[in-house]
Structure 1
Amino acid sequence: MDEATLRLRLGSVIRAHREALDVSQDRFADVIEMHRAYYGSIERGSRNLTIATLSRVAAGLRVRPSQLLQEAGA
């Protein structure tokens, strides 16, 4: 799988988990102390995530980073 496809899939998985928590994008970004525009770019798959950022997002979603990657097909 190429990098762009992985980013898109990972963003989609992250969005699905956030929506399952019934939390808006803006509210979730506030909770994990991330700028809403930056967080939005993660969900759109236009941002390369560091391990630290992926961990921060995963903690907010109450899942392991490895679960998000597995669901994205990485």
Structure 2
Amino acid sequence: MKMRIIWFILILRFSLMNCQIYREEMNISQEKFALSIGMDRTYYSSVEAGKRNVSIQNIKKIADGFGISISELMKKAEMYMNM
């Protein structure tokens, strides 16, 4: 059970750190993206850098901002981790 929790946390962190890739594909700045999802730019920047523990509500905001589900965000991160 403990390993599953650790694995989940790693995937979650990796998926949030990959937000930069998704955001750049949208050709949008951190500031514009953060504002579009109702989040402070400095907070969002620290999320992209993997420096934050993010609530599920904010993960949902980020996923919605990219037009994907939370599970899709996690799946893509898991795919990148397996490369």
Q: Counterparts of 1:18-37 in structure 2 under 5 Å?
A: 18-37=23-42
Query: Aligned with 1:30: secondary structure?
Result: helix
How many pairs are equivalent? 72
TM-score calculated relative to the size of structure 1 = 0.84
- Structure scoring higher RCO (CA < 8 A, sep ≥ 6) equals 1
Percent identical pairs in the alignment equals: 32
Q: Counterparts of 1:37-52 in structure 2 under 5 Å?
A: 37-52=42-57
Structure 1: runs of 5 or more not aligned: none
RMSD: 1.8
Structure 2: runs of 5 or more not aligned: 1-6
Q: Which has the larger radius of gyration?
A: 2
The answer as to whether partners of 2:15 and 2:77 remain within 8 angstroms in 1 is yes
Change (3 A) 1:71 1:52: same
